[in-house]
Amino acid sequence: MELTERDLHIFLFLKESRFATIPQIARKFWSGEHAYDLSIIRLTKLFKSGYLNKQWIDWLPEPSLYLPTKKSNSALWRERLIKRDAVTDYVRYDLRYSPSILHDLTVTDIRLAFEKTLEIILWITDHELRRKNYHWKYETRTPDGIFKALYHGSRIRGILEYERSRYDRWRYMSVLARLLREETESFIFFVTTTTKRVENLLQIAGGRRMEYLKNRDKVFFSPLKPVLEKGANVAWVNPLGQRRTFELDKLKQSPLKSCGIKGLDNLSFMDDNESELRADYGSHTEGY
């Protein structure tokens, strides 16, 4: 079977995310009214050729999941898009028993929504961060995504946090304090399930016990539903009561270029040295 450039993009996307639904893959790599049907045709061919695996999770809204295989990762390695040790990085277990599957699929939906409304230069998934043992200094917690985007002619660094579970006040204060201490130059996008929960988190973040954190104006909150509809172009609110939308001009990059085909493992900031990952990594994507 002859692989296309889009096939390689699909392989890389699935390797980064570990799995995705048909609508997610169709939304990212096809356009037009027949995008879903065309994606099924191609994904079926890749599955029958051994490049993709498939699992059926009957309790999911979209029960059919596609996953990478050693064969698809090998194709990426032959094109020098990943390192050789990443060839064996693919799911081998039954996802029905994964407690985080709904969370992970929603994070992918948020990523796709952001990519439609922000000029994304690079997106690093939580899975790739864990592979490189990236976490903040005092905790093993990993963000749901780190990205770099162009915003009005300059580059911004963004941290995505999506929370489905309810936090108690002290746990949430600890998470937020850690984010703001470790990511002083980043915009932090905190997405949660309901408007009521956003209000509660804003009340905690704006309280006296958090006043010592001087960069609270850089953490923004929104409920999930508008983010899935409008991506970054929603009315984000920070703990100071300021509202902001991240509305950009029409994407200048082609859909394939914005997918990051060079692959994370080719970028020097993804080396095991954690300090390199903490640095401003936008310069590593120049000319890609």
- DSSP string spanning 218-278? GEEEEEHHHHHHHTT-S-EE-TTS-EE----PPP-S-TTGGG-TT-GGGSGGGSS-HHHHH
Task: Return the pLDDT at 4.
Answer: 95
Q: Which position has the higher pLDDT, 250 or 91?
A: 91
Domain membership of residue 267 (yes or no) is no
Query: Comparing C-alpha atoms, which of 5, 7, 3, 13 is closest to residue 260?
Result: 13
User: Are 108 and 136 contained in the same domain?
Assistant: yes
Q: What is the DSSP letter of 154?
A: E
Question: For 187-215, what is the mean pLDDT?
Answer: 84
For the cut 70, the answer to whether the pLDDT of residue 280 exceeds it is no
| Mean pLDDT, range 47-56, rounded to an integer | 97
**Residue where a domain stops, chosen among 98, 133, 158:** 98
Q: Are residues 234 and 149 in the same domain?
A: yes
- Confirm whether 46 is domain-assigned: yes
Give the predicted TM-score (pTM) of the model.
Answer: 0.83
Q: 138 φ, ψ to 5°?
A: -105, 0
The pair of three-digit structure tokens given for residue 69, joined into one six-digit string: 């295989």
Q: Do 98 and 79 form a contact (C-beta atoms < 8 A)?
A: no
Q: What is the CATH number of the domain that holds 20?
A: 1.10.10.10
Do 92 and 108 lie in a common domain? no
What tokens does 47 get?
């599955």
Same domain, 88 and 119: no
Which tokens in the block code for residue 118?
């922000």
Residue-wise pLDDT for 167-188, tens only, equals 677 777 777 777 777 777 889 9
Most confident of 22-36, 126-140, 191-205: 22-36
State the residue range of the domain holding 153. 102-244
Residues 108 and 78 in one domain: no
Mean pLDDT of 137-141: 55
pLDDT band at 134 (very low <50, low <70, confident <90, very high): low
- Average pLDDT for residues 226-243, to the nearest whole number? 92
Per-residue pLDDT, 51:
97
What pLDDT score does 140 carry?
Answer: 54
Of residues 214 and 282, more confidently modeled: 214
Q: Is 175 a member of any domain?
A: yes
CATH number where 224 lies: 3.40.1350
Same domain, 159 and 90: no
Claim to verify: residue 199 and residue 85 sit in the same structural domain:
no
CB 39, CB 21: distance < 8 Å:
no
Give the confidence band of 101 by pLDDT, cuts at 50, 70, 90.
very high
Residues 43 and 159 in one domain: no
**Are 90 and 110 contained in the same domain?**
no
Please identify which residue in the block is written with the tokens 């000319």: 287
Higher pLDDT, 256 or 83: 83
Cross-strand partners of 158: 147, 187
Contact 121, 282 (CB under 8 A): yes
* Buried-exposed string 165-187: b where 16+ CB fall within 10 A, e elsewhere: eebeeeebbebbeebbebbeebb
- Per-residue pLDDT at 215 exceeds 90: no
Count how many residues are written for the chain: 288
Residue 213: count of CB within 10 angstroms of its CB: 19
Does the structure show a pLDDT above 90 at 25? yes
The pLDDT assigned to 180 comes to 78
Tens of pLDDT along 54-86?
Answer: 999 999 999 999 999 999 999 999 999 999 999
In a domain, 141, yes or no: yes
- Note whether residue 261 is domain-resident: no
What is the domain count for the chain? 2
| Same-domain check for residues 37 and 132 | no
Among 72, 98, 124, identify where a domain stops.
Answer: 98
pLDDT at position 184, please? 79
Give domain status of residue 258, yes or no. no
Tell whether 145 and 118 lie within a shared domain.
yes
| Averaged pLDDT for residues 221-232 | 94
Burial track 132-146 (b if 16+ CB lie within 10 A, e otherwise): bebebeeeeebbbbb
108 and 240 part of one domain: yes
Last residue of a domain, one of 98, 121, 152: 98
